[in-house]
A and B are shown apart, each in its own frame.
Chain A
Amino acid sequence: MAEPKTKYDRQLRIWGDQGQAALEKASICLLNCGPTGSETLKNLVLGGIGSITVIDGSKVELGDLGNNFMVDESSVGQSKAKCVCAFLQELNDAVKAKFIEEYPEALIETNPSFFSQFTLVVATQLVEDSMVKLDRICREANVMLVFARSYGLTGLVRISVKEHTVIESKPDHFLDDLRLNNPWPELRRLAETTDLQVSDPISHKHIPYVIILVKMADEWAKSHGGNLPSTREEKKEFKDLLKARMIALDEDNYKEAIDASFKVFAPRGISSDLQQVINDGCAEVDSSSLDFWIMVAALKEFLAKEGGGEAPLEGSIPDMTSSTEHYVNLQNIYFAKADADFLAIEQRVRNILKKIGRDPNSISKAIIKSFCKNARKLKICRYRLVEEEFNSPILSELQKYLTDEDYSVAVGFYILLRAVDRFAANYNSFPGQFNGAMDEDISRLKITAVGLLGDLGCNGSTLTEDLINEMCRFGAAELHAVAALIGGIASQEVIKLITRQFVPMPGTFIFNGIDHKSQLLLL
């Protein structure tokens, strides 16, 4: 019925039917359902995620009522996984919700193959040792993994996926694809057949700026040995020429042309970002390559051949001052070129598929079309195994963070979040978890953290006493507001990973709940 459409209207406007379909197909596994985990799932369940499996071995205690909305008085003493799961199910009956009363650590140790059934695992409140083990398991099984942890006024979110490729990265501000610096014959012809000198003032001010610029650039090139304006003086002269063509002060089309004249001066060809994608080793495809890389291989060929160094045309144009007729004509010309480029790429994709021994029709027209439309915006995200990062972080970056004022608190928390796990491994509780031995815990945590930094090859003196004290004060508390924030971020990243739209965050996000100067650390 129409109901899900209405219910999901506000999010369909963001990720569309395809994004929604991907969410509804996904199965998510949650490890530990304290507030951080529960809040993460809540946001996904509301959005209509396919299925959830909640894993937690603990029983609800009185303390849980103070930080977790998904449990209440009647839950005390019962399985936390069961209570949280029941509440989540209440939020959206379209979601398949189930729970397993078991400790995640046990599952990681005894049943690693368990995780391979999921699209994505959200692992909350895990200590370092379990993170490392789970990460290896998920990487092997090709299951996406998101870590989330709340700890006092700090916390972290970290994605772990070998490779995540995005076609629909949907950047907010991206230069339109008008090709004014390199018009193709049909666009040139349209400009040629348009009379800029038309005497009727209404017609004069309704010639779209695209046509004005193509035509003027052509004229310029003819009188400048085929070159477009390149020096500052030339650019200014070009703009003055445009200004001189105005016959009235209110000609918005000419104002737009002057503002957009930089599009004529822009260098031809593809961006360095796209060049990097093309040069990626994965673009040398074989039968085991992902569809994405097969399309990149086709794009690479296209650039060298019929594209003449330009990516396939996007095909849509922004609104601009114009008569309806001119505008529709322009739209048609851009659309036709985009379609021709698409057909060329499609042909190359089919040929490549044949060559590597796969069904030439195994990639749908719709996907190739979307790839062409978004070719300039392709994104590739790769994540190190957490074990690699923990054992050998990028030292130059770490040094930089430690000495940069903007990063010092965030990187301090990063180190301390690791230090508390070492602490817990040695002393069987987190620093400050219980009242009493606070001073002793502070000095022990300091020794642990300095030792950790030393192991990484860094000077420990960069950690402030204040921050170490603060970490002990937190005593592993999972505050609801912090958990809701960390869970909110984790769920947002999950949505981006599953819909394959927008760009997931790189590195490790460290939440700084003291003054909100949180940071992404790329280690």
Chain B
Amino acid sequence: MAETATQPSRSRDLDKLLLRPGNLVEPTFEPGPGLRDDLKEYVKVLVVGAGGLGCELLKDLALSGFRELEVIDMDRIEVSNLNRQFLFRVEDVGKPKAEVAAKRVMERVSGVNIVPHFARIEDKELEFYSNFSIIALGLDSIEARSYINAVACSFLEYDADDNPLEETIKPMVDGGTEGFKGHARVIKPGITPCFECTIWLFPPQVKFPLCTLAETPRTAAHCIEYAHLIKWDEVHSGKTFDPDDPEHMKWVYNEAVKRAELFGIPGVTYSLTQGVVKNIIPAIASTNAIISAACALETLKIASGCSKTLSNYLTYNGAQGLHTKVTEFVRERDCLVCGPGILVELDTSVTLEKFIGLLEEHPKLHLSKASITHRGKSLYMQAPPVLEEMTRSNLSLPLFELMGKISKDIVHATGTTIKNDKKTSSLIKLRVAFKGVDGVTDMDTAGGA
């Protein structure tokens, strides 16, 4: 080996793992200084979320050999973040999380470059996400996970035998915590189950029946939800409740107290009111540290092959003793998100406008207000107005022509669907095939492009 024992190096510890051959490693592992340099230069990692997990992830990745990082988060720093989001200080309250987090890590780890994005994940184009080698998720919402998962799976392409094409796989690592518990998982779309394949792991929250709230309240939470869901609308006609407005929260609390007194129910406190209304998940630094570290370690393994990867779901529970468990979940063959895509067969005469209408009527999709992208090119965009205007003229053109007259190809549609009575942004991958056009055209077009 070229290195001597005494030469001081910043990567003293990491080098042992990256420069030395090993037996319990991935077949792709090629130890050496080249690997170390490649991690620095060519592996771009996106961290989604700059909260409890995101802060830890940025630190862990910056100290695990990665140099090119980006982070996206739409939130601003709040006082209640400070018990675990260690990159933030009291004086940072109100500033965008992504920006402060990126700055703090760059200040301490020289050579690391972190680009912050103070934005909603839905506001970035697909193109943005396609730039990263690996996406690390530090999120606390199912909707956001679902969205990023769909984005990563949208890049996935299959060959003629329905086998995933290696170079189109965009790996994700995902972490989540609640109190002393957490999970870390590795998602390799097309190989391991995607978030949607195992959506049953995240059952929707049980809501109280409205008649219980209105007629037979029994618990403090019933009184709070009565004030929040029923009384608010009765009194404030038209004004929507804002959970972040302390005046609104106070009002709900006071009403809940009155109702609890009326029915002789104990236990309504301001803290409980906030917890119920905002559905606050308890969170502590230690659990976030454990889960993020597991995710960062897996990111390093995926990028370098320096050890086996987690296959594929780790749960951690520290509440009663300590329990860890690795479960190997399997893919859902017919998954709408990571599968080969929903096949839509069309006549070559179908216009883009008609196609968008079909997506709304499609029994499996019900996708309304869809924007359509083909091979990174926007065919029609619902927003912003400038883009809408620019792409509007495409609506009357046949989709077949817009797609370059090929017999079949992947098209991405983003729009809204209704999930659990809630409007959600959805991204759907479609396999569009045109009737009466044979495969030869396909080959010709591909060859000529």
Chain A contact residues, CB within 8 Å of chain B: 3, 6-14, 35, 39, 42-43, 46-48, 61-63, 65-69, 72-73, 90-92, 152-153, 169-172, 206, 319-320, 322-324, 327-328, 432, 434-436, 438, 465-467, 469-470, 473-475, 477-485, 487-489, 491-493, 495-496, 502-506, 509, 513-518, 520
Q: Give the interface centre of B219, B265, B322 by most chain A CB atoms within 10 Å.
A: B322
How far does the Cβ of A402 sit from chain B's closest Cβ, in whole Å?
18
Give Cα distance in the complex from A357 to B275, angstroms: 46
The residue that B17 contacts in the complex, of A11, A91, A477, A493, with Cβ under 8 A, is A477
Give Cα distance in the complex from A99 to B221, angstroms: 47
Which chain A residues lie closer than 8 Å to B1 at the CB level? 435-436
Residue of B at shortest CB range from A467? B24
New A-B contacts (16) at CB < 8 Å, excluding given A434-B5, A489-B322: A10-B80, A10-B282, A43-B84, A47-B83, A61-B12, A63-B13, A65-B109, A66-B13, A69-B63, A324-B217, A470-B23, A482-B297, A485-B290, A502-B318, A505-B321, A514-B307
B103 within 8 A of A: no
Which chain B residues lie closer than 8 Å to A48 at the CB level? 83
Proximity string of chain B (316-350) to chain A, C-beta cutoff 8 Å, 1 when within and 0 when not: 00111110101000000000000000000000000
Interface contact A502-B218, CB-CB below 8 Å: no
Interface contact B320-A172, CB-CB below 8 Å: yes
Residue of A at shortest CB range from B60? A481
The residue that B297 contacts in the complex, of A69, A170, A485, with Cβ under 8 A, is A485
Which chain A residues lie closer than 8 Å to B79 at the CB level? 3, 6-7
Chain B contact residues, CB within 8 Å of chain A: 1, 3-5, 8-14, 16-17, 20-24, 56, 59-60, 63-64, 79-80, 82-84, 86, 89, 107-110, 179-180, 184, 216-219, 263-265, 271, 274-275, 280-290, 292-294, 296-297, 300, 307-311, 314, 318-322, 324, 326
Interface contact B179-A14, CB-CB below 8 Å: yes
The residue that B319 contacts in the complex, of A67, A172, A322, A488, with Cβ under 8 A, is A172
The secondary-structure label for the interface of chain B is: loop
Give Cα distance in the complex from A513 to B256, angstroms: 49
Give Cα distance in the complex from A132 to B249, angstroms: 55
Residue of B at shortest CB range from A170? B319
Interface contact A477-B16, CB-CB below 8 Å: yes
Which chain B residues lie closer than 8 Å to A480 at the CB level? 13, 59-60, 63-64
Interface contact B83-A479, CB-CB below 8 Å: no
Residue of B at shortest CB range from A465? B23
Give Cα distance in the complex from A152 to B326, angstroms: 20
Interface contact B5-A62, CB-CB below 8 Å: no
Interface contact A328-B80, CB-CB below 8 Å: no
The 3 closest A-B CB pairs, nearest first, are: A63-B12, A488-B289, A488-B290
Q: Would A484 and B319 be within 8 Å (CB), given that A42-B86, A63-B12, A495-B286 are in contact?
A: no
Interface contact B80-A478, CB-CB below 8 Å: no
Which chain B residues lie closer than 8 Å to A67 at the CB level? 12-14, 63
Q: Give the interface centre of B218, B219, B311 by most chain A CB atoms within 10 Å.
A: B218
Q: Would A42 and B285 be within 8 Å (CB), given that A13-B271, A47-B83 are in contact?
A: yes
Give Cα distance in the complex from A319 to B78, angstroms: 33
Interface contact A484-B56, CB-CB below 8 Å: yes
The residue that A46 contacts in the complex, of B83, B219, B321, with Cβ under 8 A, is B83
Which chain B residues lie closer than 8 Å to A319 at the CB level? 218-219
Interface contact A466-B82, CB-CB below 8 Å: no
Interface contact A432-B80, CB-CB below 8 Å: no
Q: Would A69 and B108 be within 8 Å (CB), given that A43-B285, A324-B216 are in contact?
A: yes
Which chain A residues lie closer than 8 Å to B180 at the CB level? 14, 492, 502
Q: Give the interface centre of B20, B84, B284, B314 by most chain A CB atoms within 10 Å.
A: B284
Residue of A at shortest CB range from B104? A69
Give Cα distance in the complex from A2 to B318, angstroms: 30
Give Cα distance in the complex from A240 to B182, angstroms: 42
How far does the Cβ of B93 sit from chain A's closest Cβ, in whole Å?
10
The residue that B83 contacts in the complex, of A7, A484, A493, A518, with Cβ under 8 A, is A7
Residue of B at shortest CB range from A150? B13
